[in-house]
Homo-oligomer: A and B are copies of this chain.
Amino acid sequence: MKLTILFGGASYEHEISIVSAITVMDKLSSFDITLVFCDQDHQFYKVDTKEMKAKSFSSGAHKKMPLLHVIKGGFELRKTFSKELFNAPVLNLIHGGDGEDGTIASILDFYNIAYIGPRKEASVFSFDKGYTKWLADSLHVKSLEYEIVCQGEKPSIALPIIIKPARLGSSIGVSIVKEASELEYALDLAFEFDERVVVEPFVAGVKEYNLAGCNLDGKIKYSIVEEPEKQDFLDFDKKYRDFSRSSKANEAQLDAFMVEKLQEAFSKIYNGLFEGALIRCDFFVIENEVYLNEINPIPGSMAHYLFEDFDALIQNLLKNLPTQKRAQVNYQYIHSINQAKGK
């Protein structure tokens, strides 16, 4: 089976995307893979498998790789006397901006290129943590109390709180504020990355569970539930290493009832919005109630470590991509008006 892995992007998570792509490529051994790198200037390059290491990009060596152009149906490589089209379906592995904000989804849809990844509507709701709250509220999925704070405003939620830029992933710009003296710096830091920040109460020692899945043949295929390593929160550096993990995760010790509750919340979020994507939802459990923490519509290394047979899962997902319904234009109104005018 053919697959294009698209990675990089003009994003704060650019480097994480490179690491993710290297890891995922290794996990899809049955596939015939084309590697496409998007640099921060939005140029696309075709990467040879043997050059697929972080240094190829950090050193700028990629600038000598063959340029690609997005055209109808795929990525085109233009040679002096010929052209080659790489038209395999795309696995969108651009984390953060470009990849998770709906931009790449729109471009792939516009040029009629099939892809695994969130569609633009799903991207808008998951990329902005404020909109994720609206989504959860509207679907009656619980999430923590929150406040959206703009520059110059102060949060009113009692300390301790957690402060997050509305639109960044991988814990960039996130702080826990336990003392009033830490507030100003934490807000300044978050406002470096976004003009709106989301403030929530910080619940120390809260139980966290991650669950991934995707819709296959009208039914969600769930991963095992993972209880992530316990710490206040993962900072960028730890997450960076986390994105390159290759071993399987340990399954959380949960009774069937709680697993079902997590799956139920996941399906409310997923159905009708995330089709075509393999997502990971991160939940809190407080007094046996499930709270949505965040949606990762392109999870680090595609959360491969949560699935028994990741390669088969991706094969199956490729057969289950949503089809676009495109309007047919027949000019009946212009024709009828011209007729009425005698033209």
Q: Name A residues whose Cβ lies closer than 8 Å to a Cβ of B.
A: 10-12, 14-15, 18, 39-42, 54-55, 57-58, 72, 96-98, 101-103, 105-107, 109-112, 120-121, 124-125, 128, 131, 134-135, 137-138, 150, 196, 236-237, 240, 272, 326-329, 331, 333-335, 337-338, 343
CA A313 to CA B317, docked complex, whole Å? 48
CA A214 to CA B185, docked complex, whole Å? 34
By a CB distance below 8 angstroms, the chain B residues around A55 are 334, 338, 343
Pairwise interchain contact B128-A121, C-beta atoms closer than 8 A: yes
Pairwise interchain contact B102-A42, C-beta atoms closer than 8 A: no
- Of the candidates B39, B97, B120, B335, which one forms a contact with A124 in the assembled complex, judged by CB atoms under 8 Å apart? B120
CA A50 to CA B128, docked complex, whole Å? 45
By a CB distance below 8 angstroms, the chain B residues around A12 are 327
Pairwise interchain contact B110-A335, C-beta atoms closer than 8 A: no
A-B contact pairs, 29 of them (CB 8 A): A10-B329, A11-B327, A11-B329, A12-B327, A14-B329, A15-B329, A15-B333, A15-B334, A40-B326, A40-B329, A41-B72, A57-B334, A58-B334, A58-B335, A97-B327, A102-B120, A103-B106, A103-B110, A105-B106, A120-B124, A121-B124, A121-B128, A121-B131, A124-B124, A124-B125, A134-B134, A134-B138, A137-B138, A150-B272
Pairwise interchain contact B120-A101, C-beta atoms closer than 8 A: yes
- Of the candidates B54, B101, B138, which one forms a contact with A338 in the assembled complex, judged by CB atoms under 8 Å apart? B54
**Chief secondary structure at chain A's binding surface:** helix
CA A311 to CA B333, docked complex, whole Å? 29
Pairwise interchain contact B101-A326, C-beta atoms closer than 8 A: no
Pairwise interchain contact A54-B337, C-beta atoms closer than 8 A: yes
CA A137 to CA B140, docked complex, whole Å? 14
Q: Return the 9 tightest CB-CB contacts between A and B, nearest first.
A: A106-B106, A58-B331, A58-B334, A40-B329, A124-B124, A14-B329, A54-B334, A103-B106, A12-B327
By a CB distance below 8 angstroms, the chain B residues around A237 are 333
By a CB distance below 8 angstroms, the chain B residues around A110 are 42, 98, 103, 107
By a CB distance below 8 angstroms, the chain B residues around A15 are 329, 331, 333-334
Pairwise interchain contact B58-A338, C-beta atoms closer than 8 A: yes
- Of the candidates B40, B103, B328, which one forms a contact with A109 in the assembled complex, judged by CB atoms under 8 Å apart? B103
Apart from A15-B334, A42-B110, A103-B109, what are 8 other A-B pairs with CB-CB below 8 Å?
A18-B334, A42-B111, A57-B334, A58-B331, A58-B335, A102-B106, A103-B110, A120-B124
> Would you give the shortest CB distance from A185 to chain B, in whole angstroms?
21
Pairwise interchain contact A236-B326, C-beta atoms closer than 8 A: no
By a CB distance below 8 angstroms, the chain B residues around A101 are 120
CA A237 to CA B135, docked complex, whole Å? 35
> Would you give the shortest CB distance from A240 to chain B, in whole angstroms?
5
CA A128 to CA B237, docked complex, whole Å? 38
